[in-house]
Structure 1
Amino acid sequence: MLSVSVNESEVRDLCNQKIAELIKEVDTEYVFWDTAELKKRTCMSWNTIQDTFFYDPRFVKRKVGSKWYFPAREARAFLEQWLREQAQ
């Protein structure tokens, strides 16, 4: 009979580390997001984005011509902070 013992905490830590690496890798692919990417990253409609955080002065955005662009790192950091604030 074969017995396998798994340290669940260690496995969880390894998984979290790998996920963080993959997220960092994906985030470095883009310098900025457009509205389509912002909607995809937040899983929100454009109307919901505008109604919830778009006009928050902390949310960095630039309009170039008729198109909105959002610096990827700053947008992600803002969104993570904004979400934490929603739980308060």
Structure 2
Amino acid sequence: MITVKVDEQEAKKIVHEKIAKLVKEAETEYVFWDSTELRKRTCMSWNAILDTFFHDPRFKKTKIGKKWYFPAKETRLFLETWLFEQSY
């Protein structure tokens, strides 16, 4: 019989680092995202975004007219942090 012990914190750290690396490799040159791009990047509906992280004061956003815009780099960093926090 084989027994394997995994340090859960170290495993989470490795997964987070791998995700961050893959996201960085996949990023495009957008300066900002609109709500459609945010939904696409998060694979979440607008209602799910509103119910989870939209009102977090760390989440940067600007409304111009009737449309929301999100700075791409800052939004990506926020989402990575936010997702990692959800695993605790």
Q: Which has the larger radius of gyration?
A: 1
Mark the runs of 5 or more structure 2 residues left unpaired by the alignment. 1-17
Counterpart for residue 32 of structure 1: 32
TM-score (norm 1): 0.72
TM-score (norm 2): 0.72
Cα offset, 1:22, TM superposition: 3.5
What is the alpha-carbon distance in structure 1 between the residues aligned to residue 52 and residue 24 of structure 2? 29
1:12-43 Cα distance to aligned partner (Å, 9 max, x none): xxxx7x956632xx33x200000000000000
Deviating beyond 3 angstroms after TM superposition, the runs of 4 or more aligned structure 1 residues are: 18-22
What letter corresponds to residue 86 of structure 2 in structure 1? Q
Percent sequence identity is 64
CA RMSD of aligned residues (A): 1.9
Counterpart for residue 25 of structure 2: 22
Mark the runs of 5 or more structure 1 residues left unpaired by the alignment. 1-15
Q: How many residues align?
A: 69
What is the alpha-carbon distance in structure 2 between the residues aligned to residue 21 and residue 52 of structure 1? 23
